[in-house]
Structure 1
């Protein structure tokens, strides 16, 4: 069922504008005319959502709220389009993808994606638009602004784009690099979009990969030790293992997987921020982002030359 009404907290979560500020703007500039429930709680429709997203975009691009509030919806759309045509596309694309998700609008998503593809290329779209969106998606999910249907809908659209571009990646093996990158998610991790994109980035740089996907046990990974190559295992930890269980997870990795002591484990995901105080094995590395990991690869490549 498509969500057609939103609370003021939903508008805050989707637009980034504080609920208190929305109330002030509503009162001072008549920015919205929300319906009220029997208990006097504000409820906003999809038109109000689109308006607040446009207001947020223009306000973030330097327009004064008094000038924005004086515009009707058509004028708002025209002003947003004008800013976007000047090159301020990233924030606008983020807002449009949120709207596509909330309305289960596949056509809008495809239009935003294809426009970004022309302007930024696939890697640019993912790095500058989709990764920031996926980070926000987690916050929207945890705040109950969206439900599991929204999350699955938009995630599968993004995955379709990833898999399509993965098939056409121009993979040219870089013979200077003897590493084999094995990408996996732990048993209770299921969100693999970041890992898929990292696989794409590695392949496009001529790195050899094995993509194993979700729900992998550490015991299953020990079978790769006879590959005769330097093995680099890459994983995301977002939900599980929890920070309390991470030391045990790392210890089990060394016991079950890295028996010869010649493999690395690289870790990304939200749990990385909580791991800063952990004393890690020299072969265990954490990365705050895909970009940081890729930049590290590029730096090491330059040093080798």
Structure 2
């Protein structure tokens, strides 16, 4: 969370707790009043505020509650018993929710150790692909919402994104040293100018390599004219663009039209994914492009 001076806060409103836990503010107030499960502080203007200890306790209570524990029962447990119970009930059924909560706490506390311990626990039970699909993609989706609602600051988002990028790079490098087994096309992955959200594109690079194709990863802020250079090196190319916030909805169709104009070719494909895809007027472009609403949808298209 961020205040007017840009400093990262360590206290949260009840709305922040709702955003981070998924429990409605009204319910949190009832739990607090009836069962005394949280101990809020008071601001100078006598408004309830909550610290990181309250947040962590609420996330643990939420996990127990989702697992079937009644709040009236949870309220009777000694303070130290709640984290222990959470550890004991972490099963295949609850691993995803626990991991997402743990990663949120790692983010809020800038806690690398918690991130790594949670990640390696997941990796002992799941493949990297499963971890990314089941945990990191939902986490990134939540991060987007938390950032938009000002519950977290850019510092929180950058901290957790960098750690996920590290894991993506390590797993991608293991595939890059292998010779491609499919040579009918090359995938070129890039972000448009001023687009900085790279995680989704990095994962698509990993998946494309996993499918046996050669990839050319260009990353963020690539002008269209730079993509034309690839046409002199490869005959059959799939250009993949991940559009999270750029181009904006008023200029995205013009951007797609310009890509078609500059990159058009018999063996050239243009694929688009990301939040801004919904603003592309597909009817204007016919079969010239393909759009995808999710990472799994695009991955299924990689054959």
Using structure 2 for the length normalisation, give the TM-score: 0.92
Match of 2:4 in 1: none
CA spacing shift, 1:283–1:73, aligned 2, 3 Å: farther
Per-residue CA distance 1:167-225 (angstroms, 9 max, x = gap): 222634223x4111000000010010111111011111211110000000111111112
The partner residue of 1:93 within 99, 115, 123 is: 99
Question: Hey, what's the Cα distance between the residues in 1 that align with 2:240 and 2:225?
Answer: 15
Question: Hey, what's the Cα distance between the residues in 2 that align with 1:61 and 1:295?
Answer: 33
Q: Kindly state the Cα deviation for residue 52 of structure 1 after the two structures are TM-superposed.
A: 0.8
How many residue pairs are counted as aligned between the two chains?
A: 296
Match of 2:78 in 1: 72
Structure 2 residue 138 is matched with structure 1 residue 132: yes
The RMSD of aligned alpha carbons is 1.8
Matches within 5 A, 1:218-257: 218-257=224-263
Per-residue CA distance 1:253-290 (angstroms, 9 max, x = gap): 011122x2531111111123444776443131111221
The partner residue of 1:294 within 282, 287, 299 is: 299
The answer on whether the counterparts of 1:2 and 1:102 sit within 8 Å (CA) in structure 2 is no
The answer on whether the counterparts of 2:23 and 2:62 sit within 8 Å (CA) in structure 1 is yes
Question: Hey, what's the Cα distance between the residues in 2 that align with 1:16 and 1:280?
Answer: 40
Question: Hey, what's the Cα distance between the residues in 2 that align with 1:222 and 1:231?
Answer: 11
The partner residue of 1:168 within 156, 174, 190 is: 174
Matches within 5 A, 1:205-224: 205-224=211-230
The answer on whether the counterparts of 1:181 and 1:209 sit within 8 Å (CA) in structure 2 is yes
The answer on whether the counterparts of 2:235 and 2:267 sit within 8 Å (CA) in structure 1 is no
SS at match of 1:242: coil
Question: Hey, what's the Cα distance between the residues in 1 that align with 2:17 and 2:39?
Answer: 14
Question: Hey, what's the Cα distance between the residues in 2 that align with 1:219 and 1:261?
Answer: 18
The partner residue of 1:194 within 200, 215, 231 is: 200
Per-residue CA distance 1:27-62 (angstroms, 9 max, x = gap): 111121211112121111111000111122122223
Structure 2 residue 277 is matched with structure 1 residue 272: yes
Question: Hey, what's the Cα distance between the residues in 2 that align with 1:278 and 1:145?
Answer: 38
Matches within 5 A, 1:5-84: 5-84=11-90
Using structure 1 for the length normalisation, give the TM-score: 0.91
CA spacing shift, 1:61–1:104, aligned 2, 3 Å: same
Per-residue CA distance 1:139-160 (angstroms, 9 max, x = gap): 1111111111111111111111
Structure 2 residue 111 is matched with structure 1 residue 105: yes
Question: Hey, what's the Cα distance between the residues in 2 that align with 1:79 and 1:137?
Answer: 27
The answer on whether the counterparts of 2:195 and 2:243 sit within 8 Å (CA) in structure 1 is yes
* Contiguous gaps of at least 5 residues in structure 1: none
